[in-house]
Amino acid sequence: MQIVHQSRPVVPRDRLLRLPEVLSLTGCKKSTIYSMLQEGRFPKPVRLSARMVTWPETAVLQWVQDRINQAAGVQ
């Protein structure tokens, strides 16, 4: 008898980050994040309630990587 292991494919999961984590990851201040957001230069948040917004971790990390690549001259 042979036992076949069936596993489901790994689904990448995204975390939702609150503002303090976004500030820590980007090194930006709250006013800068919201200013860039209004100008369309920062990922849009996900509204969870009337008073709570979060950002997808992958979007924030991609934004950071894009800034690093831009500074290094990588297209």
* Interval 22-40: pLDDT, tens: 999 999 999 999 999 999 9
Q: Check whether 64 has a pLDDT greater than 70.
A: yes
Q: What is the pLDDT of residue 4?
A: 58
pLDDT score, position 74: 77
Q: Please tell me whether the overall predicted TM-score, pTM, comes out greater than 0.85 for this model.
A: no
Distance from C-alpha of 11 to C-alpha of 33, rounded to nearest angstrom: 29
CATH architecture of 16-72: Orthogonal Bundle (1.10)
With contact defined as beta carbons under 8 Å apart, do 68 and 60 qualify? no
Residue ranges of the domains in the chain? 16-72
Which residues are paired to 52 by β-bridges?
49
